Every structure is written in C-alpha cells, then in structure tokens.
Structure 1
Amino acid sequence: MAEVTVSIGGRQYAIHCRDGEEVHLDALAGLVDAKAYVARQSTPGLTEVRQLLFAALFLADEINDLKRELAGRQGSLALPENDDSAAVMIESLAGRLESLAERLAPAPAAP
C-alpha cells in the first residue's frame, strides 16, 4: 500500500492508497484544493471545515450538471423501438463486420 501526501486548503494530509494510484490521488486532491481556494476567495473568513464543505458542494454541483448533460445526450441517442431503417443499417453493418472478420481470420492449417 502506498502513501501520498496531498495539500488541500494549505494543509498537508497523508493518505494511503493502492500502489500505482498515487498520481491519480494527487490529481483528485488538486481538484479539491482548487475548489477550496474558490470557496476561500469568495467568502473570506471561512473555517477550514467550511472551506472543505463548500469545495465538496462545488464538486457535487459539477458532477450533478455532468450527469444531467450525459442523461440528455443518451436520451437523444436512443432509437425508436420500431425504426426499420436503423435496423436495416445495423444488420448491414453486422454483415460487413462478419465478412471482414472472415477475411482477417487465419486460414485453418492443413492436416
């Protein structure tokens, strides 16, 4: 198990993580630190706990917005249940993929 020291809100925190996750954890801490900085700048005098609370709320708000955006995009990609032209196109594509796979497959060895 690895240990990483991250800086958030001007304080150092030692955090354990799986080996190889150090860089990722440091990047995540950087995101939290940036939001804590925004909270500190927008509302001077916040306690450390409240800075981290606002940082968490800012990040949660961003995640919520991204989830809504993703759901909207997925909804616009959905095909109607009875879309015959889409079914024909998918079947045609499947046939082309099968043909390509057959051409790329190695020939069976002769006995």
Structure 2
Amino acid sequence: MPQIVVTIDGKTYRMACAEGEEAHLETLAADVDGKIAELRESFGQIGDLRLTVMAAIMATDQLFEARRRIGELEGRVEADAVDRAANDEDGATARQAFIRSLDETAETIERITAKLAGEGR
C-alpha cells in the first residue's frame, strides 16, 4: 500500500492510500491545508484543534450542500424522465391516430376510384 507525506498547517503527516490514489490524497490534503490557512487568516491564532474542527465543519457543510444539490438534480432528472415517457406515449397515440386517419383516407380514395372506374365503363 503506497504511503505519501502531506503537509497540513505546517505539520507533516505520513498517510497510506490505495494504489493510484496518491495524487487525489495530496489534493485533498492541500484543500484541508487551504481551509485551515483561510480560517487562521480570518480568526488568528485560536488553537490548532479549533482550526481543524472548523475546517472539518466547513468541508462537511460543502459536502452537505453538494449532496442536497445532487438530490435536487436527481429529482429533476426523474421528473424529466416521467415527462418524456408521458410525451412518448402521447406521441405514440398521436401517430396511431394519424395512421388510422391515413388508412381511412386511403379506403375512401379506393372506394371513389372503384366507383369512378365502374362509371367509366
């Protein structure tokens, strides 16, 4: 299992990760480091643990919002699928009605043609 070293808030941490996930873990660690730096800039020296907890809460809030948006978008996709299915049914019904109308028109033309052919003799 690969191990990498990341730096968060000036401290280094050795971390294990799955094969091929090294760059992803480094990106996540850099994001956490950035959040802590942002908080330190806003609040000053309020303690490492408090900054870490605040950064975790910020990240969790972003995750919560992303999950809410995903749920909202999934609901829209589902509603759109239902609408499309209803439109497909309406379209199929309209096509069937059009086909019936064409069949009736063709039968009428055939009857008229037969009458005209009979009168022409």
Give the equivalent residue in structure 2 for 1:42: 42
Aligned length: 89
Distance 1:61 1:40, change over 3 A: same
Deviation at residue 76 of structure 1 after TM alignment:
1.8
**Which entry has the higher C-alpha Rg, 1 or 2?**
2
TM-score by length of 1: 0.69
List aligned pairs for 1:79-94, cutoff 5 A: 79=79, 80=82, 83-86=85-88
For residue 60 of structure 2, give the secondary structure of its aligned residue in structure 1.
helix
Give the equivalent residue in structure 2 for 1:11: 11
Distance in 2 between residues matched to 1:68 and 1:18, nearest whole Å = 28
Distance 1:3 1:87, change over 3 A: farther
Runs of 4+ in 1 over 6 A off after TM superposition: none
Distance 1:35 1:87, change over 3 A: farther
Paired letter, 2:87? S
* Coordinate RMSD, CA, aligned: 2.2
The structure, 1 or 2, with the larger RCO (C-alpha pairs under 8 Å, 6+ apart) is 1
Unaligned runs of 5+ in 2: 92-121
Paired letter, 2:86? D
Distance in 2 between residues matched to 1:53 and 1:20, nearest whole Å = 28
Unaligned runs of 5+ in 1: 90-111
For residue 78 of structure 1, give the secondary structure of its aligned residue in structure 2.
helix
Deviation at residue 19 of structure 1 after TM alignment:
2.4
